[in-house]
């Protein structure tokens, strides 16, 4: 199929063209996930899929069948930097986020074993991804960290995950933002990660002691790697400001949200305290 074929579907409110089905067209959409062409990858490969998913056009067995391929895609070229393989990894994660959202909020079809296996693979990927570019001129969004944040946001809301799982996800986020990075988070990655953190806190499965300890460990980067000692180390410097920006985002969201449980809102002073070391 060429672009005109898919553009007609988009223009026709994502209605499937006569003579085709989601089963015959989805393999083509999956092939677009690794394309450096943002129209094929994002406007068609992602947007068409999520519209069809939202309309309930996929049977549970079909969705379950997509997961192994998408998980495998997350490993393709993993560890590379500034190569086009990032698109396949990142947009496969985004499909998985959409599938997990559907499982959480529309029709529960994944088993606990499937959810936990997928979580393990997602956290492995999150820690190992080295291409942290956000928007790439001429090729569009890579956004691997933001897309993984969206998937983690769905995991922390999942019915099968308990306090230990939530804590594990928060620790993975903490580790990721503190890891020296070739790129600072310039394209709202910090805010997308914060959304996942807030969703985790809203579950009210973690004690205040655990959450404040997590916040303090994040803020501790100012002591472990003071900015004036790492200013000539770009990767460490990027991590320093990635942490600061995520903590800022968390504080702002805690301050402005009007739908938080009391226990979560009471974390506001602790969140503010974590920012003070960054203001020296």
Domain with 113, as residue range(s), is 1-147
Clarify whether residues 1 and 57 are in a common domain.
yes
pLDDT in tens, 77-132: 999 999 999 999 999 999 999 999 999 999 999 999 999 999 999 999 999 999 99
Torsion angle of alpha carbons 135, 69, 179, 233, nearest 10°? -50
pLDDT value of residue 265:
85
User: What whole-number percentage of the chain has pLDDT above 70?
Assistant: 100
In a domain, 23, yes or no: yes
**3-class SS of residue 140:** strand
Whether 157 is in a domain gets the answer: no
Q: Do 79 and 130 form a contact (C-beta atoms < 8 A)?
A: yes
Provide the pLDDT confidence category of residue 280 given band limits of 50, 70 and 90.
low
Residues 226 and 254 in one domain: yes
pLDDT, tens digit (0-9, with 9 covering 90-100), for 247-274? 999 999 999 988 888 888 888 888 888 8
Verify that 84 and 190 share a domain, yes or no.
no
| One domain for residues 227 and 95 | no
Our count of domains for the chain comes to: 2
My answer on whether 113 and 29 are in the same domain is: yes
Q: How far apart are the first and last CA of the chain?
A: 57
At 127-182, the pLDDT tens digits run 999 999 999 999 999 999 999 999 999 999 999 999 999 999 999 999 999 999 99
**Separation of alpha carbons 138 and 87, rounded Å:** 13
| Cα gap 2→153, rounded to integer Å | 34
Final residue of a structural domain among 147, 176, 192: 147
What is the pLDDT averaged over residues 51-56?
A: 98
| pTM of the shown model | 0.95
* Same domain (yes/no): 110, 207: no
For the chain, what is the mean pLDDT? 95
In contact, 276 and 214? CB cutoff 8 Å: no
Say which residue the tokens 């803020």 belong to. Answer: 219
CB of 150 closer than 8 Å to CB of 169: no
- Spatial contact of 117 and 172, defined as CB atoms under 8 Å apart: no
On whether both 253 and 141 belong to a single domain, the answer is no
Q: How many Å separate Cα 14 from the centre of its chain? A: 25
Residues 170-217: tens digit of each pLDDT? 999 999 999 999 999 999 999 999 999 999 999 999 999 999 999 999
């Amino acid at each position: 199929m060429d672009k005109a074929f898919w553009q007609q579907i988009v223009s026709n409110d994502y209605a499937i063209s006569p003579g085709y089905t989601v089963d015959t067209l989805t393999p083509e959409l999956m092939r677009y996930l690794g394309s450096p062409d943002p129209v094929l990858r994002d406007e068609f490969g992602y947007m068409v899929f999520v519209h069809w998913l939202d309309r309930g056009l996929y049977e549970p067995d079909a969705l379950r069948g997509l997961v192994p391929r998408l998980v495998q895609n997350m490993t393709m070229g993993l560890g590379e930097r500034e190569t086009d393989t990032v698109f396949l990894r990142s947009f496969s994660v985004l499909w998985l986020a959409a599938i997990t959202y559907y499982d959480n909020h529309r029709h529960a079809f994944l088993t606990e074993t499937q959810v936990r296996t997928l979580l393990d693979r997602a956290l492995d990927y999150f820690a190992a991804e080295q291409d942290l570019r956000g928007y790439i001129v001429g090729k569009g969004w890579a956004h691997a960290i933001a897309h993984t944040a969206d998937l983690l946001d769905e995991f922390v809301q999942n019915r099968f995950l308990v306090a230990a799982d939530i804590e594990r996800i928060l620790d993975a986020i903490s580790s990721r933002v503190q890891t020296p990075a070739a790129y600072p988070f310039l394209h709202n990655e910090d805010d997308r990660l914060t959304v996942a953190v807030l969703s985790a806190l809203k579950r009210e499965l973690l004690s205040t002691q655990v959450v404040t300890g997590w916040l303090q460990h994040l803020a501790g980067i100012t002591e472990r790697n003071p900015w004036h000692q790492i200013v000539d180390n770009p990767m460490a410097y990027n991590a320093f400001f990635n942490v600061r920006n995520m903590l800022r985002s968390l504080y702002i969201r805690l301050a402005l949200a009007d739908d938080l449980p009391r226990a979560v809102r009471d974390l506001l002073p602790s969140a503010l305290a974590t920012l003070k070391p960054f203001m020296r």
